[in-house]
């Protein structure tokens, strides 16, 4: 099963990754803040991740790693 792993402390909350996921499973975690004071991005339903790595490719802060 593919997995997208988000380093929440690197995230600056730009939301770019939420715009490219074909499964629409990347969302901002508005219930918490990281150390920089941003709501971090994350995956809502990892079972739907197809491992395309679009999210990792678009992240300007290299905060996402995708495993297949
Ligand atoms: S790897 Fe693809 S399917 Fe999985 S969370 Fe990232 S953009 Fe979505
Ligand atoms: S693209 Fe990167 S920095 Fe921007 S919200 Fe997503 S994980 Fe955070």
Report the C-alpha gap between 3 and 39 in whole angstroms.
20
Ligand 2 near 66 CB (within 6 A)? no
- What are the pLDDT digits (tens) for 38-60? 999 999 999 999 999 999 999 99
Ligand 2 near 59 CB (within 6 A)? yes
Report the C-alpha gap between 29 and 61 in whole angstroms.
17
Task: Give the DSSP letter string of 2-60.
Answer: -EEEE-TTT-----HHHHH-TT--EEE-TT---TTS-PPEEES-GGG-----HHHHH-T
Predicted local confidence at residue 25, as pLDDT: 98
pTM of the model: 0.96
Residue to substitute in 58, 59, 62, 65 for testing ligand 2 pocket (most ligand atoms within 8 angstroms of CB): 59
CATH hierarchy code of domain 3-67 = 3.30.70.20
């Amino acid at each position: 099963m593919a997995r997208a792993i988000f380093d929440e402390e690197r995230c600056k909350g730009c939301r770019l990754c939420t715009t490219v996921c074909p499964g629409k499973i990347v969302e901002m975690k508005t219930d918490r803040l990281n150390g920089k004071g941003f709501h971090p991005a994350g995956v809502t339903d990892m079972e739907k991740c197809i491992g395309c790595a679009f999210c990792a490719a678009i992240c300007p802060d290299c905060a996402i790693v995708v495993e297949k």
